[in-house]
Amino acid sequence: MIPVLLIVIPLVSGLLGFLIKEEKSVKVWSLFTSILTMVVAILGIAFLHKPEYLQTDVAWLPSLGSRFSLTMDGMSKLMCLLTGIAYPGIFIATWNATYRNANKFYALMLLMQTGLMGVFVASDALLFYFFWELALIPAYFLCSIWGGERRIAVTFKFFIYTFVGSLLMLVGIIWIYFHTADRSFAMSAFYNVNLPGNVQGWLFWLFFLAFAIKIPLWPFHTWQPDTYEQSPTAVTMVLSGIMVKMGVFGILRWLAPVLPVGLWGWGDPAASMCVIGMIYASFVAMQQDDLKRLIAYSSIAHMGLMGLAIFVTSSIGIQGVMVQMFNHGINIIGLWIVVELIERQFGTRKMSELGGLAQKAPSLAIMLVVVALANVALPLTNAFIGEFMMFNGVFGSKASNYHYIFMVAGGISIILSAIYTLNMIQKVLYGNTSTLTANARDIRVNEKFVLVVLLIGIVVMGVYPKPMIEATKHAVDAIYSKMFIKLP
Amino acid sequence: MNAIVISAVLGVVMMFSGVLTNSKTAVRTVAIIGLLGLIVANVLDMGGYHFFNVNVKGMLSFDVFGLLFNTIAFASTWIYFLLSGRDMERVGINLAEYFALIFFVLCGIAIVSSFNSLLMLFLGIEIISIPLYILTGSDKRNLKSNEAALKYFLMGSFSTGIMLMGITLLYGVKGSFDMDVIRAGTTSLTPMITAGLLLLLFAMSFKVSAAPFHFWTPDAYDGSPTVFTSFMATIVKVAGFIAFIRLFEGCFGDVKGQWQLLAAIITAATLFIGNITAVFQQSVKRMLSYSSIAQAGFMLFALVAMNDMAKEGMIFYAAAYSLATIGIFAILLKMKDYTFEGFNGLAKRQPVLAATNTIFLLSLAGIPATAGFWAKFYMLSAAINDGKVLWLVIVGVLCAAISVYYYFRVIQAMYFKDGEPQDIETSKGFRGLLIGIAAVVVLLGIFPHWLLDQLSNFLYL
């Protein structure tokens, strides 16, 4: 029931949104329906624990053995919660932004939410693929119509990149389908399929490419900074806060438990790619002057760590990834909100043209500092617990022979991330005011509201992460047991 | 049998309708109603109502697979008449004859979907081809149209000759044109059979424009009046595939292992050449010609895999591909400028045309929630299920990704670029019909089993 609602509410409201012509009403409408979705998501996660509320299973393609089956386990719940909370937050934070053809913009945003929710709750491989692609189409139109100057070429690159990955994954899905016991796309059938090690090896790459492009891992990351930079900020928030998590989520749900031997065999090369990406992205981030690009590269580094924690196969690492998927989503959306506020007020995102904001706009400054420090995983912030668990997992990994090297390299990238983040804070908030920032004013009430809620969330989750860990504990155990049970 | 007789009779009726009346509307109406009758007769044939009990001495066999394909081909033609019937008037004065020729083509299609003897195959292919040569050259005063017709005719008759040689060699070995006789006892390829098989493979590749026998396609499609290109590139092309698969399954199904690799190489070459060349086109019409080659590559998967899934998928592919391409051509016909730039800013002036065109293009690209996705899904599944041609599957998906490039160029032009306002007149009925087809494409994309379960029911009864 709950997962169906999570898909249907945004779908229907998105389709209706196309019909609402007036800008103000469509804004109110999408905010209202996204809050509705959020309420449903919270209900499903916090209060309704009976399995019949959290599962749906109807016949879809009987001749193919594919069912419209949705399930919410701990990991799904967390991601649905993130998607549910993020949307109203994004809508409120960008309330003052104006778009040409606003109704289409908001309608496509809501349709994208449908795809995202679908990916997180689908427990049928074909259905998963369906939603995986459906989330991409609205993103393509959103970025291409409302993006910056180079939007068309950049978004096209993004689309083709991800499409190649998805198609390779589709080949993998079909291959496994033919080797399931009773020719079924169901998740349970996929989990119980027994494939020889070498087959798992090359199937691993088919799936891995799809997810690696989405996350994105080095060297498949080249679409990401451009797309983040060119997209309208609201879309960037969804892309970086939620959509890239689809890749990590996909690995945890459809790669690790299905092809454990493949992952075990190729874990080290994959982990190496993550580590190289982390360090490389951190160095590139240090060179950036544009705030959006800086955050984009910092996101590559942080997502790389999540990949690393999965590929070294450790229980606590996976636990950390789940927690971090949620927290990173919150933090990076917070960062984008601040960047959006800065850009809208001063018309620039260049750090060299900003400065001295701490005096002129103290609230904005506090927000930026807290969110940025959360992004570098300072203790007491939410990201700390996730990154700590992931590093713990990498350190104690039994599956990888090189985990100490990964550990050290990952640690270096965290240090680098502190350097570029603090450097950013310094350049934007302190120093002399420039001509642009001389008359800066502080942020509006609605923006303050979203940011304060975010800050409270960041601190509360940083101090008391227990509910999140408990909610996902079961999912972690399920995945980890699948990953380890079949190891030769 | 219903379809063959009735379509031939309708062809004659259409010819005479041009003599009896001058009203173009009347001629068109007769054609549309007649075709509807043809569809009904064919469906009744599936249900066991045979109007004509002609003893064909086993030269034709009407299985549900072929009849089902007929239904899809006729239904697509019907939609094509409704969408583009008006545009045929602009080609020349002989409207009734165009309809007559199309009905003769349909008669040929009904034969190639049910032949059981190589003679019938030859007859069917010729009945399809000769009216098409005329339709290609129907824009008499246009040099390009003439050139296209001549090229098509020369290439077509050449390949027919090759096909006849192949048939002759097989006859020489087996002493019969009957496919069952040819299949029986063919467990290994003797030199004569190999030669016959290769000649037939090349000739059929010509007909379905598979690489490296595709060179006539872009010129013939580009040169002929756009309204007929639409028909040639969709219904006629898939009919060629039905014949191809029927022929190779019927004659050489038992020795598949020995020619599969060759078929796979032809498929890969077709996919590669079709997709890569389409990327560089500047005219949407020419792009669609190459896209039809690229799509042919995907349909060839059915030949390579040749299992139940492939046959089911072939029918689905025929429906999905024809619907989408007919829709795109109908929109293209309304445009004055066939270049990609001609589509600039279409979304602002004609939102319905742009939106439906987008759905058709997404379907051709194989994006989920459109019929085209399932078409590709079935072809890929069939090949993966076969197990021996996994490299071809990877080539296929990479080419599918390339195809996104040129299909999306049209979408980009329509939605993201501003252009000179063009006066495009479309009637309410036309737009309504486009929306209807787009809705079918999407519904088939979400609930493909509406069509597929029908297929399985028929195929495995």
Question: What's the rounded Cα separation, in Å, for the pair B371 and B361?
Answer: 11
Residues of B near A (Cβ–Cβ under 8 Å) read 362, 367-369, 377, 380-381, 384-385, 390, 393-394, 397-398, 400-401, 404-405, 408, 412, 415-417, 448-449, 452-453, 456
User: A30 and A88 in contact (C-beta within 8 Å)?
Assistant: no
* Whether the predicted pLDDT of A354 surpasses 90: no
Q: Please state the rounded mean pLDDT for residues B77-87.
A: 90
Provide CB contacts within 8 A for B401, sequence distance 6+. Answer: A160, A163, A164, A167
B397/A164 touch (CB, cutoff 8 Å), yes or no: yes
A171/B394 touch (CB, cutoff 8 Å), yes or no: yes
End-to-end CA, chain B: 21
Residue of B368, B394, B449 with shortest CB distance to A129? B368
- Shortest Cα–Cα distance, B263 to chain A (Å): 20
Domain housing A314: 2-485
Name chain B contacts of A159, Cβ cutoff 8 Å: 404, 408
Angle at A85 between CA A81 and CA A90, to 5 degrees: 145
User: Tens digits of per-residue pLDDT, B284-298?
Assistant: 999 999 999 999 999
Report helix, strand or coil for A80.
Answer: helix
pTM of the model: 0.92
Name chain B contacts of A170, Cβ cutoff 8 Å: 377, 380, 397
> What is the band of B461 on the pLDDT scale with cuts at 50, 70, 90?
very low
* Whether the predicted pLDDT of B455 surpasses 70: no
Q: Please state the rounded mean pLDDT for residues B419-433.
A: 81
- Shortest Cα–Cα distance, B385 to chain A (Å): 7
User: Tens digits of per-residue pLDDT, B398-418?
Assistant: 999 999 999 999 998 888 888
Report helix, strand or coil for B283.
Answer: strand
Count of beta carbons in the 10 Å neighbourhood of residue A466: 10
- Shortest Cα–Cα distance, A368 to chain B (Å): 34
Count Cβ atoms within 10 A of the Cβ of residue B272 and give its class: 0-12 exposed, 13-18 middle, 19 or more buried.
middle
User: Tens digits of per-residue pLDDT, B171-224?
Assistant: 998 888 998 888 887 788 888 889 999 999 999 999 898 888 888 898 899 899
Report helix, strand or coil for A399.
Answer: coil
- Shortest Cα–Cα distance, A338 to chain B (Å): 29
Angle at B136 between CA B131 and CA B138, to 5 degrees: 90
Name chain A contacts of B384, Cβ cutoff 8 Å: 171, 174-175, 178
- Shortest Cα–Cα distance, B398 to chain A (Å): 7
User: B45 and B2 in contact (C-beta within 8 Å)?
Assistant: yes
Question: What's the rounded Cα separation, in Å, for the pair A373 and A91?
Answer: 24
Query: What mean pLDDT is reported for chain A?
Result: 86
* Whether the predicted pLDDT of A488 surpasses 50: no
A62/B449 touch (CB, cutoff 8 Å), yes or no: yes
Q: Return residues 7-66 of A near B (CB < 8 Å).
A: 60-64
Domains contained in chain A, number: 1
A63/B380 touch (CB, cutoff 8 Å), yes or no: no
Question: What's the rounded Cα separation, in Å, for the pair A301 and A290?
Answer: 17
Q: Please state the rounded mean pLDDT for residues A59-86.
A: 86
Q: Which pLDDT score, from 0 to 100, does residue A213 have?
A: 92
End-to-end CA, chain A: 40
**Helix boundaries (H) for A147-196:** 151-179, 187-191
User: Tens digits of per-residue pLDDT, B120-152?
Assistant: 999 999 999 999 999 999 888 889 899 999 999
Nearest residue to B325 (alpha-carbon basis) of B231, B436, B218 = B231
Residue of B381, B415, B449 with shortest CB distance to A145? B415
B404/A134 touch (CB, cutoff 8 Å), yes or no: no
Helix or strand run (H / E) with residue A56: strand A55-61
Whose tokens are 């190649």? That residue is: A164
* Whether the predicted pLDDT of B34 surpasses 90: yes
User: Tens digits of per-residue pLDDT, B247-295?
Assistant: 998 888 888 888 899 999 999 999 999 999 999 999 999 999 999 999 9
Fill in the amino acid letter for B393: V
A137/B362 touch (CB, cutoff 8 Å), yes or no: yes
- Which residue of A lies nearest to B418 if distances are taken between CA atoms? A145
> What is the band of B421 on the pLDDT scale with cuts at 50, 70, 90?
low
Question: What's the rounded Cα separation, in Å, for the pair A351 and A30?
Answer: 33
* Whether the predicted pLDDT of B457 surpasses 70: no
B401/A144 touch (CB, cutoff 8 Å), yes or no: no
* Whether the predicted pLDDT of B299 surpasses 50: yes
Residue of A133, A144, A177 with shortest CB distance to B368? A133
- Shortest Cα–Cα distance, A117 to chain B (Å): 16
* Whether the predicted pLDDT of B458 surpasses 80: no
Interface with A, mutate which of B362, B386, B449 (most A CBs under 10 A) = B449
* Whether the predicted pLDDT of A486 surpasses 70: no
A178/B369 touch (CB, cutoff 8 Å), yes or no: no
- The residue among B461 and A482 whose pLDDT is bigger is A482
- Shortest Cα–Cα distance, B252 to chain A (Å): 26
User: Tens digits of per-residue pLDDT, A403-440?
Assistant: 888 889 888 998 899 899 988 888 888 877 777 777 77
- Shortest Cα–Cα distance, B91 to chain A (Å): 37
Residue of B368, B390, B452 with shortest CB distance to A130? B368
B397/A170 touch (CB, cutoff 8 Å), yes or no: yes
Longest Cα–Cα distance of chain B, Å, equals 66
Name chain B contacts of A144, Cβ cutoff 8 Å: 412, 415-416
Provide CB contacts within 8 A for B184, sequence distance 6+. Answer: none
Provide CB contacts within 8 A for A9, sequence distance 6+. Answer: A33, A36, A37, A40
Q: Which pLDDT score, from 0 to 100, does residue B86 have?
A: 85
A171/B384 touch (CB, cutoff 8 Å), yes or no: yes
* Whether the predicted pLDDT of B459 surpasses 60: no
User: B358 and B372 in contact (C-beta within 8 Å)?
Assistant: no
User: Tens digits of per-residue pLDDT, A282-338?
Assistant: 999 988 888 888 989 999 998 999 999 888 878 888 899 988 988 898 888 888 888
- Shortest Cα–Cα distance, B156 to chain A (Å): 36
Name chain B contacts of A164, Cβ cutoff 8 Å: 397-398, 401
- The residue among B435 and B24 whose pLDDT is bigger is B435
B385/A178 touch (CB, cutoff 8 Å), yes or no: yes
Helices B2-20 and B64-88, packing angle to 10 deg = 20
Whose tokens are 């020419």? That residue is: B286
